[in-house]
Chain A
Amino acid sequence: MADHTRDPCPIVIINDFGGAFSMGVIGGTIWHGIKGFRNSPSGERRSGAIAAIRSRAPVVGGNFGSWGGVFSIFDCAIKGIRRKEDPFNPILAGFCTGGALAMRGGFKHARNSAITCGCLLAVFEGVGIAMSSYMSRASKPQLPDMEGGVPLAA
């Protein structure tokens, strides 16, 4: 039935592109605003910050967006090929994304980048699994308290 949190596969690529791009633009605005403000001489701090935001924030957004979108494309493709969902999908997708985006730097660069991205995604997935198992420990079913052979709650 309808999933309310995440859309199905082909269309979620657009969502991921847009979400990653927005995140990058907003984060880049803050980052380069502060950087431009600090690196400008006093008196030109405001214009320096605006110039830095104008020239740099869209680039950060574009980098984030292309990473997230390419990752989502690979994720959907791997899901379609493997026909199952497990933590190896994002790891493989991260590997492919890192390789694809570093392709113009030559084979060595692409390989190193792919391995780095795969390891990064493996760490993310591991942390996610650990967090969810830690969170679900609180709601583990417990044996009812028995006193005289009769459960107290009954």
Chain B
Amino acid sequence: MVWPFGGSKRDTGSLPAPVTSNEPLVVDRAPTTSDSTTPSESKSPSPELPTFLSADSFDVSKLHPLAGLDKGLEALDLEDDALSDLPGSKGFLPSRGWSDDLCYGSGTMYMGGLALGGAYGLAEGLRQSPTSAPAKLKLNSVLNAVTRRGPFLGNSAGILAISYNVFNGLFDVYRSYHDAYNSIGAGLITGILYRSTKGIKPMAISGALMGTAAGVWSYLTSAI
């Protein structure tokens, strides 16, 4: 860093002895010999950077002791007034309400389904292409399989999550509190809707599966 006011720190640290009068005053102004002091430099000690600005003495805990800065940035620490105040909705996951649940729930499910389906598609694409195929053909086969399997699983999982969270939020609003029955009912309706064009038996199976999954999930969130 170029300190614009006066010489650098190295010059002031090793100030040469003042020149005596019987020696010829040789002032070499060539840029190669930076140790030689010009008269303007030797007249007054140049200002230094204040020591409290150096990095090792910078202690955030001393800046404002009440602010709790020494604990680091608590980014995921939602304050109490931002949290959802619905009775019974406090789990181990911080949430601002049903829209937070919807976004994070569907995002997690969608990305999880995408990753899982993508991995399955990757394995499938590698298996289907012969080992002697050129790399470009192999890449194309893998990409085709990934883009067929990944979005399908991701879309299905994401839609289940959206439907579950919407019904869960509706039940919460309707009953003005949250408990496991809301979750299980939302899961049941989601599962029934998901297979609603396939007939009674698949609807019942899918609804039972989703209701069980919702019950397990709400037990886990309340237990931790």
Q: A residues touching B (Cβ–Cβ < 8 Å)?
A: 1-2, 4, 7-8, 11, 13-19, 21-22, 25-26, 50, 54, 58-59, 61-62, 65-66, 69, 104
Contact = CB atoms under 8 A, between A and B. Distances in A.
23 contacts: A2-B74, A2-B82, A4-B78, A4-B79, A4-B96, A7-B75, A7-B76, A14-B108, A15-B107, A17-B106, A17-B107, A17-B110, A18-B104, A18-B106, A21-B158, A22-B102, A22-B106, A58-B156, A58-B158, A61-B158, A65-B107, A65-B110, A104-B143
B163 to A, nearest CB: 9
A147 B76 CA distance: 52
| Chain B interface bracket (under 10, 10 to 19, 20 to 34, 35 or more) | 20 to 34
A18 B76 CA distance: 18
A58 B155 contact: yes
B6 interface: no
Contacts of B111: 14, 17, 69
B104 A15 contact: yes
Contacts of A1: 79
Given A25-B162, A62-B155, A18 B143 contact: no
Interface of B: 74-79, 82, 96, 100, 102-108, 110-111, 143, 151, 154-156, 158-159, 161-162, 197
Nearest to B96: A4
Nearest to B67: A1
Nearest to B107: A18
Contacts of A66: 151
A61 B106 CA distance: 11
Given A14-B104, A61-B158, A2 B79 contact: yes
Given A15-B100, A18-B104, A18-B108, 16 more contacts: A2-B75, A4-B79, A7-B76, A8-B75, A14-B108, A15-B104, A17-B106, A17-B110, A18-B103, A18-B158, A19-B103, A19-B107, A21-B107, A21-B158, A25-B162, A59-B155
